[in-house]
Amino acid sequence: MKKIGILLILFTLSLNISKLKAEDGYRLWLRYDLISNAQKLQEYRRSIQAWLIEGDSPTLSVAKNELQNGINGLLGQPISNVKTIQKDGIVVAATLGKSALLTQLNLNSRLEKLNLEGFLILNTTINQKKVIVIAGKEDIGVLYGVFHFLKLLQTHQNIEKLNIESSPKVKLRILNHWDNLDRTVERGYAGFSIWDWHKLPDYLDPRYTDYARANASIGINGTVLTNVNANALVLTPAYLEKVAALADLFRPYGIKVYLTARFSAPIEIGGLKTADPLDPQVQTWWKNKINEIYQYVPDFGGFVVKANSEGQPGPQNYQRSHADGANMLADALAPHNGVVMWRAFVYDNNVPDDRAKQAYNEFKPLDGTFRSNVLIQVKNGPIDFQPREPFHPLFGAMPKTPLMMEFQITQEYLGQATNLVYLATMWKECLESDTYAKGQGSTVAKVIDGTLHEYSMTSMAGVANIGNERNWTGHPFGQANWYAFGRLAWNHELTAAQIAEDWIRMTFSNDNNIIKTLQNMMLNSHETVVKHSTPLGLHHIMGAGHHYGPGPWVSRMSRADWTSVYYHRADSMGVGFNRTSSGSDALSQYFPEVQAKFGTLENCPEAFLLWFHHVNWDYKMKSGQTLWAALCHQYYQGVEEVRQMQKSWDALETKIDETRFAQVKALLKIQEKEAIWWRNSCVLYFQTFSKQAIPKGLEQPEKSLEYYQKLSFPYAPGIRPQW
């Protein structure tokens, strides 16, 4: 009997383990596996007996396939497609103006209030039969509604009292791929580009369809296929036919294709001697080229332009303004309803007194001079996607010009693809920051969604972290940042915690212990990496070129504002960049209330202390510690928090599938090593200025500063190509 008992126990254990299927992460959050909660499964099976989608279009065909596959997989049994409402439990999806049922239900007036991409989901009755209605103002709204409904099932939500009304808060929700035509990806840490240009247009990798599904599921409606450091060849017929093939595939998913325009293209592929935007020949060339593009892609979205920045050509090469350059392209795009997204990330030929001031100085005077189809694409902070930055001073400063947000999803300065860092908390910090442009409550989010300045054109862009690795993003948790960007672009009022919970439920499990553990790891992860890399407002102290790991000693570059010492300004007295009126005066670019918040040591939040102030090593912090002691403790605490993440993850070993568990465990070990590397390098380096001992109780670095300074990484991933 004992042997039988042992066998039974082993057999039961093997059944439990087998339920944790091997996962490679390819399915992202679109996992339609059988619902494991028996009570929920029975509830859903009672509520969903069949489905009906009225209408016929490429987008509705996509919606039909997604609804059928999703319901069948989640409910574990085939759910039939019907043509009429003959029983309870039918899911009905329909589009305004194409459905007699919506008129019968008197839903047209509610749908009219939505924007073109909005949707409704509600319980109601049709011919005395209980149904769930998914309705959109346009077909794309139906598709978005279908994805949202499937998310409700995936996350085990109640579907008996539905009354959901949803419209996106910004119009253009776009991924920026920094992908090159040779399939390398600048600042890409998940393999090569997913665009196989060599095989296009004849071979369409099934991955492209899954990419479109993933984006549509979170409301992303645009993709920029090429790097902002642009290659003019993408505008030639040989590549435009490849672009057209992708555009045709993406169209049913509501995704428009955009390209980056190299400003010198008229010279490089057009045979002209100039790219001067005021030259009639140049204007004609661009007009003809854009007309040609629309012959290939009738719904082409437009251009993203990086000009006069980091070596890229632009209108300033000809003593013209950014407005001159943007308007020239905008005029050529306007007849086709195309847009220009002109990046505000610029470098002057001369090193400014403070690079944080440059974009404001160049663009603020141009407010109101851009065409109506031009958006200025502004990074969340005034330097360059640093682990923590104050919001960019341009937000709120250009009321006559639509500004769009540029977030970086790929973790260029945040551990690349080896660190678990959930970015929604950082993005929310920026979006909720108050610009005071029109008094209290003038948040960055209200600038971006157009409500503050009544922008008619609104947009949010994210620099993609997607590559050809099987799990798309390199780090399994990197998927959460792609997911979170889409959700926030649709609705910036969602909390980081809400988004994290949905992603965990859809990607890992609906088990409350797993959700609580992973959500806690994710919500604290950004603060953790800030602590072990750039605490208290330090910034831009990473390794040169590859941006991998610490490099606070970097001092020899072709430009001073590419070095680390330019930003931290450590000396025997203290550390930090003085941006107050006694320093670079960058703080004056903000509204008075913001100046008051950051302008004094007493008022400035310690998270931004060294961003705005050069602070004495012996300055007393709010904790009572000196600045030096507080800086050390931040670095050491960051390492300890990574170790705590390891313990939290290890506790889930029996509840996470073996493949993903092992991968994340290994990556957390790498993250711990890199956190120690950052900690030791920075503490030892800044100690050469403070001349003070590392506080008692903190372990001493095993290696010398010289050891860390000699480390070299010539083949680190994501290095910018040479132009």
DSSP per residue, 415-468: TTTTS----HHHHHHHHT-B--BTBTT-BHHHHHTSTTTT-SS-EEEEE----S
Tens of pLDDT, residues 572-630: 999 999 999 999 999 999 999 999 999 999 999 999 999 999 999 999 999 999 999 99
Superfamily of domain 172-494: Glycosidases (3.20.20.80)
Tens of pLDDT, residues 354-375: 999 999 999 999 999 999 999 9
Residue reference for tokens 């859809």: 506
Residue reference for tokens 């390492």: 639
**Which of 66, 138, 412, 672 is an active site residue?**
412
Q: Which CATH number fits domain 24-166: 3.30.379.10, 3.40.640.10, 3.40.190.10, 1.10.1040.10?
A: 3.30.379.10
Tens of pLDDT, residues 174-215: 999 999 999 999 999 999 999 999 999 999 999 999 999 999
The least confident of 6-20, 23-37, 302-316 is 6-20
d(CA 429, CA 427): 5
Confidence at residue 351, expressed as pLDDT on a 0 to 100 scale: 75
Contacts of 719 (CB under 8 A, 6+ apart): 186, 545, 546
Range 378-385 average pLDDT = 98
Residue closest to 668 by CA, chosen among 419, 479, 469 = 419
Using an 8 Å Cβ cutoff, are 677 and 549 in contact?
Answer: yes
The residue extents of the domains of the chain are 24-166, 172-494, 531-577+614-710
Using an 8 Å Cβ cutoff, are 237 and 197 in contact?
Answer: no
**Which of 210, 348, 384, 640 is an active site residue?**
384
**CA dihedral over 688, 608, 463, 398, signed as positive or negative:** negative
Say if residue 315 is preceded by a cis peptide, omega within 30 of 0: no
Task: Please state the pTM of the whole predicted model.
Answer: 0.96
Q: What would the two tokens of residue 538 be?
A: 């330090």
What's the fold here for domain 531-577+614-710? Alpha-d-glucuronidase, C-terminal Domain (3.90.1330)
Chain centre distance of CA 654 = 31
Range 450-463 average pLDDT = 97
Range 256-266 average pLDDT = 98
Confidence at residue 721, expressed as pLDDT on a 0 to 100 scale: 61
SS (H, E, C) 129-194: EEEEEEEECCHHHHHHHHHHHHHHHHCCCCCCCCEEEECCCCCEEEEECCECCCCCECCCCCCCCC
Query: C-alpha distances in angstroms, 147 versus 3, 67, 121, 218, 478?
Result: 49, 8, 11, 8, 21
Confidence at residue 21, expressed as pLDDT on a 0 to 100 scale: 59
Tens of pLDDT, residues 404-432: 999 999 999 999 999 999 999 999 999 99
Q: Is the pLDDT of residue 17 over 70?
A: no
Range 551-579 average pLDDT = 96
d(CA 103, CA 343): 45
Confidence at residue 348, expressed as pLDDT on a 0 to 100 scale: 74
Active site (annotated) includes residue 384: yes
- 156 in the Ramachandran plot: left (φ > 0), alpha (ψ -120 to 50) or beta? left
Range 633-652 average pLDDT = 98
**CA dihedral over 113, 118, 123, 127, signed as positive or negative:** positive
Query: Torsion angle of alpha carbons 624, 628, 634, 636, nearest 10°?
Result: -120
**Which of 196, 205, 248, 310 is an active site residue?**
310
Which residue(s) pair with 406 in the sheet?
379, 461
- Mean pLDDT value across the chain: 95
d(CA 458, CA 395): 13
Q: Is the pLDDT of residue 26 over 80?
A: yes
Active site (annotated) includes residue 602: no
- Residue of higher predicted confidence among 8 and 367: 367
Active site (annotated) includes residue 561: no
Q: What would the two tokens of residue 20 be?
A: 């944790």
HSE of 289 in the Cβ direction (CA atoms, 13 Å)?
28
Confidence at residue 22, expressed as pLDDT on a 0 to 100 scale: 66
Confidence of residue 16 (pLDDT cuts 50, 70, 90): very low
Tens of pLDDT, residues 161-176: 999 999 999 999 999 9
Q: Is the pLDDT of residue 82 over 80?
A: yes
Confidence at residue 100, expressed as pLDDT on a 0 to 100 scale: 87
Confidence at residue 605, expressed as pLDDT on a 0 to 100 scale: 98
Confidence at residue 352, expressed as pLDDT on a 0 to 100 scale: 80
Using an 8 Å Cβ cutoff, are 587 and 599 in contact?
Answer: yes
